[in-house]
């Protein structure tokens, strides 16, 4: 999957903080900008996988998957 997401990042004192605009709840804090971007990427990927698992579990069986384009 090659989706693009937007990270909003800023430095506050000695920390870098960031959020993913399109996904509520994805926010991170790190000591460097580079580490923040890496952590946001990992956290986003984990959240997507967790949401996918939860959706498939809720659907139980006899479901279909479709691609929805915005």
pLDDT single digits (tens) 18-44: 999 999 999 999 999 999 999 999 999
Helical H runs in the chain? 33-59
Is 64 contained in some domain? no
C-alpha 60/C-alpha 13 separation (Å) is: 47
Is 37 contained in some domain? yes
The dihedral of CA 67, 4, 24, 58: what is its sign? positive
**Predicted TM-score of the model (pTM):** 0.86
Is 29 contained in some domain? yes
Is 34 contained in some domain? yes
Distance of CA 35 to the CA centre of its chain: 15
What pLDDT, in 10s, does the model give residues 43-53?
999 999 999 99
Is 67 contained in some domain? no
The parent domain of residue 52 ranges over 7-59
Distance of CA 41 to the CA centre of its chain: 7
**Counted domains in the chain:** 1
């Amino acid at each position: 999957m090659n989706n693009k997401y937007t990270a909003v990042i800023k430095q506050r004192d000695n920390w870098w903080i960031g959020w993913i605009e399109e996904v509520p709840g994805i926010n991170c804090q790190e000591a460097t900008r580079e580490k923040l971007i890496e952590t946001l990427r990992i956290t986003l990927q984990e959240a997507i996988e967790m949401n996918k698992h939860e959706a498939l579990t809720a659907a139980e069986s006899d479901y279909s998957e479709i691609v929805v384009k915005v």
